[in-house]
Amino acid sequence: MAPDPLVRLQAVSKIFPGGIVGLDAVDLDIISGEFITLLGPSGCGKTTSLRVIAGFESPSSGKVLLDGRDITALRPFDRPVNTVFQDYALFPHMNVAENVGFGLSLRKLSGAEQAKRTGEALDMVGLADKLGARVSELSGGQRQRVALARAIVCEPRVLLLDEPLSALDAHLREQMQVELKRLQSRLGTTFVMVTHDQTEALSISDRIVVMNKGRIEQIAPPATLYDRPATKFVASFIGTMNLLQSRFVGRDGDRLRFTAGTLPLEAISETGEAPAEGATRTIGVRPE
């Protein structure tokens, strides 16, 4: 039996001015404690989905539920959700500790409690020695860690990450992928990340939501997406796959035989069913 979702998007649509469809009746369940990534090309709806969860965008129709409670009309700062943005959104006039503790100061916590939680958050991201540093003194990777510390210090139920690594160079990006997964495992917090980078998504996600034109094409663990794509779009978007128009010519047990021109092909029938003889199907072949 599948666990109850922490976050549920229920038939969520978003229509922008001019009739532009951002989301088209999206249904999505996010499980507590998972690292789930929304993946797809520009304009597919992944960032709009994140903004709807955060409360930065209101859906045109549908509901957003958290722990079964309808939060569709709840203001962003009233939701137990924090967001890490692509550009870090740090305050340049504040030092590291002040940036991280800013949200705590708004909650009227004591100075001692603010200092304690700020120190713990910075320790988690490996910046305990940078409390008094200015933002301008930090590298790109360090600034991203500060942004993460600021997001986790208020102990959100859900952490949303909008292209969090795209501004980093390739080497730093690989390092931060490891750091993100380590941090999420340590905290046990639900992470929802948006990226257009499939390698990034495949390397750190428990599940991936592949989106296209405002709709979900497939939701699955990385290995399943790669080995058993549900649609032609997923097959062509995840990794490299040659798609061959083929004709069914017969079967040997659970092995289905096809031909693509003069090229013989075989596929395994996972359901035990087979198409009618002579029927055409698209067969996907990975280079490896």
Q: Which two tokens stand for residue 110?
A: 């004591």
69 and 186 within one domain: yes
Q: What is the pLDDT of residues 215-256, one digit of tens each?
A: 999 999 999 999 999 999 999 899 888 899 999 999 988 899
Q: What is the pLDDT of residues 69-127, one digit of tens each?
A: 999 999 999 999 999 988 878 888 999 999 998 888 777 778 889 899 999 999 999 89
Q: Which two tokens stand for residue 285?
A: 């072949």
Nearest to 45 by CA among 233, 213, 253: 213
Residue 85 in domain: no
Residue 86 in domain: no
Nearest to 68 by CA among 1, 2, 154, 10: 10
| Residue that terminates a domain, selected from 155, 181, 204 | 155
125 and 29 within one domain: no
250 and 108 within one domain: no
Residue 148 in domain: yes
198 and 76 within one domain: yes
199 and 71 within one domain: yes
pTM above 0.75, yes or no: yes
54 and 180 within one domain: yes
204 and 248 within one domain: no
Does residue 162 contact residue 84 with C-beta atoms inside 8 Å?
yes
| Residue that terminates a domain, selected from 232, 253, 275 | 232
123 and 72 within one domain: no
| Residue that terminates a domain, selected from 105, 138, 155 | 155
211 and 142 within one domain: no
Q: Which domain holds residue 200?
A: 1-80+158-232
* pLDDT value at 1 more than 70: no
Number of domains in the chain: 3
